[in-house]
Structure 1
Amino acid sequence: MTAANKPTEDILVRDVFGIDSDMKVKGFAEASDRVPAIDPTYKFDPDTTLAILAGFAYNRRVMIQGYHGTGKSTHIEQVAA
């Protein structure tokens, strides 16, 4: 990943995801055409969201499991959005 492709902005989890956490993650200042659209009605599950964000922050794998149609892919999309 080149320097131009690395996230540079500090994002407060509390402000963006509405989760009671002091966690900060890196993000991009502007969305590219590869970023999914934000769904303003999406409700983030706090534990799953924090696990996903910790995986991004520490470059670790996170396993999200559940039955088909339960929102696993949508959750990842909305965290990325």
Structure 2
Amino acid sequence: MAIELLYFARIREAIGRSAETVSPPPDVTTIAALVEWLAARGEGYAEAFAERTKVRAAIGDAFADPDTPIAGAREIALFPPVTGG
């Protein structure tokens, strides 16, 4: 299953790209599992997802919790928490 991942802010900077298409292994079935899998892909990914519980996600245009299934997702955005001021 190919998924277009979009990276924003600090995550984009650590990975060095704003988007990529990935095909996670079959056991990656939730947002949390996707983030864990991504974090294991190399140094930039490990840095980007070091604080996994703070990563936010959206599937399409809807926010997703860590336990949200990714089956059928075509696009997932990953970003750090938004701060305001």
TM-score class, shorter-chain normalisation, is under 0.3
* TM-score of the aligned structures, taking structure 2 as reference length: 0.25
Higher relative contact order (CA 8 A, sep 6+): 2
* TM-score of the aligned structures, taking structure 1 as reference length: 0.25
Q: Which has the higher helix share?
A: 1
